[in-house]
């Protein structure tokens, strides 16, 4: 929870109203609600109005999040597809895929991006 509060404070210091992400998942598989399903994010200027962002807490360039975190991410998406909050067959993009429009970030890291595209796409 401390890391989530740090992110919240950092993003509010940028002038945002609150955390810019829709959801955050820690290594234990706990979900923290940022903006939730029905509020526009403040994460990627080109996509804020059309994207839901799930932030996995950590650095995932070489290693993956824990299996608990990955399972929670999958369950979160699957549940929301069933509820109609995410369309079936949705497109999966990583923040880093969006180039300059994403601020040139490398998140979520190459390892997690590869995994997400292989396991979370269009469920």
DSSP letters spanning 72-116: HHHHHHHHHHHTTSS-TT-----GGGGGGGGTS--TT-HHHHHHH
Which tens digits make up the pLDDT trace of 12-47? 888 878 888 889 999 999 999 988 888 777 777 666
Q: 78-81 long-range contacts, Cβ below 8 Å, gap at least 24?
A: 78/123, 80/37, 80/52, 81/123
With residue 32 as reference, give the H or E element that holds it: strand 31-33
pLDDT confidence of 105, banded at 50, 70, 90? low
What six digits make up the tokens of 58?
A: 């950590």
Q: What is the CATH classification number for the domain harbouring 70?
A: 3.40.80.10
Which residues are within 8 A (CB) of 50 and not within 5 positions of it... i.e. 6 or more apart?
none
Domain limits for position 71: 2-119
pTM: 0.81
């Amino acid at each position: 929870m401390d890391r989530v509060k740090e992110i919240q404070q950092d993003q509010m210091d940028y002038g945002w109203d609150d955390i810019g992400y829709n959801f955050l998942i820690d290594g234990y598989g706990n979900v923290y609600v940022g903006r939730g399903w029905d509020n526009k994010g403040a994460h990627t200027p080109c996509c804020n109005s059309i994207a839901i962002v799930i932030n996995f807490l950590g650095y995932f360039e070489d290693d993956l999040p824990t299996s608990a975190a990955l399972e929670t991410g999958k369950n979160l998406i699957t549940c929301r597809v069933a509820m109609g909050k995410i369309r079936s067959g949705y497109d999966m993009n990583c923040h880093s895929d969006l180039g300059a429009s994403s601020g040139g970030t490398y998140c979520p890291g190459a390892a997690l991006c590869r995994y997400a595209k292989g396991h979370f796409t269009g469920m």
